[in-house]
Amino acid sequence: MDSQEEGHPSVELRGVTKRFDAFTAVDDLSLELGQGEFFTLLGPSGCGKTTTLRMIAGFERPTEGEIRIEGEDVARLPAHKRPTNTVFQSYALFPHLSVEDNVGFGLKRKKVPKAEIATRVATELERVGLAGEAKRRPAQLSGGMQQRVALARALVNLPKVLLLDEPLGALDLKLRKGLQVELKRIQREVGITFVYVTHDQEEALTMSDRIAVMNRGRIEQIAVPEEVYERPTTSFVAGFIGVSNLMPASVSGPGRVLLDQGLEIEGNTGDLEPGEGCFAVVRPEKLRVDLAGEGDAAGNGLPRVDGIVESSLYLGTSTQIVVDLGDDVRMTVLVPNADEAERQRLPGGGARVSLSWEPEHVHMVMESPGEGEPQTASPEPVANAAKSREG
């Protein structure tokens, strides 16, 4: 890319708001995407992520604000005049055309010379691993292959920005995971900006350079995947990314909080003032579980809380234990199944246990703005299995 391209963001949104009658789908959103960045909009159905993508694509016009692509304000430009292409969850392929004709359809409409079309189509089919399927019809391909055709059809037009709206949502888990790796490889190879929409936390963490976590039309946090997971800034982000382990607390002093369970612990309280409510977060893989009064947890000097095992589930590589601390507070522990004898000694349902953690593994977050209670992800291991489309 040349120096001129490097001088401005690839995509920029400035104070973008979208209203549908009295409903505000996107509320005063501003962000900048770097050149060649894999940027993911993550959030639950109805949070505004698909509406944001559709405004970048030109399928929706913002009620207020500016949208710039490669430095040009495109907020009033129709979709076909923007340097973007979109890949949807539904493949939208022409059933009567071959794979190569589907991929080259847009170039043909633009009256690109036939020789150039053939070269560019062959290049993209090779890139997505479908060079040997060029003459087949979409109905003869698997769902994963059809999605690769849709991706090649978008890339062949050489867009400045590729927009992807839950493109893997209709695929089974194993195929989806394989295509996640392929998509990231392709993005690095072509070097263009990808804007990816998903509600799948694992997908976002796996693929993204940066993630914007959206809630109720606003962005609650933008950061690299490691920071979003390890250092969430709000209760919503902490609960939505991974498994929710939120212990209600209040700030008792600089660098100290008092858990509702009665334990005072140290932690980075940031800008929180004494007396202000917050949540202490410890990720499930950072927790240790021992029978109450037994093992190291009772006397190792680490902070600990007591509870009752609500469930213990075997997940293959790990065992998931959900512990009820009382007052509707539940903590999830993930214990690697590295040793069968150790796994057999794990406490089962109804057991009284202590949970302990290293002080550096606790993180304080404020309550998400405008929410009386934090929205949290289900502690069940099927959290990422259900797929839904955003309205």
Strand partners, 251: 257
pLDDT at residue 347, as a whole number = 92
Is there a single domain that holds both residue 95 and residue 208?
yes
Q: What angle do CA 115, 162, 62 make, to 5 degrees?
A: 130
**Residue 208 forms part of a structural domain:** yes
Helices 114-127, 143-155: axis angle to 10 degrees equals: 130
Is there a single domain that holds both residue 268 and residue 220?
no
Is there a single domain that holds both residue 152 and residue 256?
no
Is there a single domain that holds both residue 136 and residue 264?
no
Q: How far is CA 319 from CA 55, 339, 345, 352, 383, in A?
A: 43, 11, 12, 17, 15
Q: Is 179 helix (H, G, I), strand (E, B) or coil?
A: helix
Q: Give the domain extent around 258.
A: 245-365
The CATH number for 358's domain is: 2.40.50.100
Is there a single domain that holds both residue 290 and residue 219?
no
pLDDT at residue 9, as a whole number = 93
User: Are 25 and 52 in contact, with CB atoms under 8 Å apart?
Assistant: no
How far apart (Å, rounded) are the C-alpha atoms in residues 53 and 220? 17
How far apart (Å, rounded) are the C-alpha atoms in residues 265 and 380? 28
Q: How far is CA 344 from CA 97, 285, 321, 354, 373, in A?
A: 57, 18, 13, 18, 37
Average pLDDT over residues 252-275: 90
Is there a single domain that holds both residue 170 and residue 61?
yes
The CATH number for 103's domain is: 3.40.50.300
pLDDT tier at 242, thresholds 50, 70, 90: confident
Q: How far is CA 272 from CA 23, 133, 248, 275, 277, in A?
A: 32, 59, 14, 9, 8
In the sheet with 72-73, reading across from the earlier edge strand, the strands are 23-33, 11-20, 64-69, 72-73
Q: Of 171, 199, 226, which residue is a domain's last?
A: 226
Give me the residue label for tokens 């505000």.
Answer: 24
Q: Of 194, 226, 258, which residue is a domain's last?
A: 226
pLDDT digits (tens, 9 = 90+) for 284-338: 999 999 998 765 544 568 999 999 999 999 999 999 999 999 999 999 999 999 8
pLDDT at residue 176, as a whole number = 86
pLDDT at residue 372, as a whole number = 46
Q: Give the residue with greater pLDDT, 119 vs 244.
A: 119
**Residue 375 forms part of a structural domain:** no
**Residue 45 forms part of a structural domain:** yes
Is there a single domain that holds both residue 261 and residue 317?
yes
pLDDT at residue 342, as a whole number = 87
Tokens of 342: 């150790």
Is there a single domain that holds both residue 145 and residue 209?
yes
pTM for the whole thing?
Answer: 0.85
pLDDT digits (tens, 9 = 90+) for 84-101: 999 988 888 999 999 999
Is the alpha carbon torsion for 94, 95, 101, 102 positive or negative? positive
Average pLDDT over residues 52-67: 96
Quick one: CA torsion of 321, 232, 377, 273, rounded to 10 degrees?
90
Is there a single domain that holds both residue 143 and residue 253?
no
Residue 387 has pLDDT above 90, yes or no: no
Average pLDDT over residues 338-360: 92
Mean of the per-residue pLDDT values for the chain? 88
Is there a single domain that holds both residue 24 and residue 64?
yes
Is there a single domain that holds both residue 212 and residue 311?
no
Nearest Cα to 357, choosing from 306, 278, 304, 307?
304
Is there a single domain that holds both residue 286 and residue 209?
no
**Residue 377 forms part of a structural domain:** no
Count of structural domains, the chain: 2
pLDDT at residue 295, as a whole number = 52
